[in-house]
Amino acid sequence: MGVTAIIKDGVTINDKNNVEKAVEDSTSLDKEAFLQLLVAQMKYQDPLEPIDNTEYVSQLATFSSLEQMQNMAKTAELQRASNLVGSTVTVVTSDETSSVSNEVTGVVDYVTTSGSTVKISIDGKLYDLDSVTKTYSDEYVAAGEAHDKFNALYKKLPDDINDVTMKNAEEVSELLQKIISFYNGMSEYEKSFIDKSYVTSVNQFVKCLKNYDIEIEGIETDA
């Protein structure tokens, strides 16, 4: 079988270089382009070596099978992306000018497609699904938020127990009670995110307040 011309985007290509270019581009054929090439084969086949009908059927069957596999893969990718909606993820992006990679963490708002690429939205900005490197459970996110709140309260304490005086003892006591109450309300999983040295420090402040006749319950520890 010989093909004397080829069609690309509905236009007959006769120039040898253009034909070679069209063949290279055909590595990513869609259904319409494939059918155009098939019609071109039929229209410009060598009369002395006509294409066998079984060859047409074979080519169509091969393409149909490939198309089904591609559709299944895209459906699976869409399902994977849809499962991320409402979840917290981290994506890695690259700066095209400096080639520096950056991480963006946020909640997936929605999923969309751009051509054959599935994209997720984080804070209104689209990212490729393939750029997702981490996915976090709701429990993990909640524990991280609890950790940040505990640390924010802890950092309001004086730098050292020796900085506690009669003048600020009541203020320190009120802050300690907030810290201890917040800690006691955390789940065991959330508590595992807290630096143990912070817990020890809180109890040292509680002990220090006894010097000013202020009695409050500290944080219970395993030790």
Tokens representing 204 are 């040292």
Contact between residue 51 and residue 41 where contact means Cβ atoms under 8 Å apart:
yes
Spatial distance between the Cα atoms of 22 and 20, rounded to a whole number of angstroms: 5
What is each CA distance from 117 to 12, 83, 194, in whole angstroms? Answer: 30, 16, 40
What digits encode the pLDDT tens for the residues 44-102?
A: 676 766 666 666 667 667 767 776 776 677 777 888 888 899 999 999 988 767 677 88
Q: Which residue has the higher pLDDT, 130 or 5?
A: 130
Spatial distance between the Cα atoms of 92 and 105, rounded to a whole number of angstroms: 9
What digits encode the pLDDT tens for the residues 137-177?
A: 999 999 999 999 999 999 999 999 999 999 999 999 999 99
**CA max distance for the chain:** 110
Spatial distance between the Cα atoms of 172 and 184, rounded to a whole number of angstroms: 18
Q: Which value, in Å, is the radius of gyration of the alpha carbons in the chain?
A: 33
Note the pTM of the prediction, 2 decimals. Answer: 0.61
Q: Any idea of the CA torsion for 144, 146, 149, 151, to the nearest 10 degrees? A: -70
Contact between residue 33 and residue 26 where contact means Cβ atoms under 8 Å apart:
yes
* H-helix or E-strand spanning residue 36: helix 31-43
Contact between residue 64 and residue 72 where contact means Cβ atoms under 8 Å apart:
no
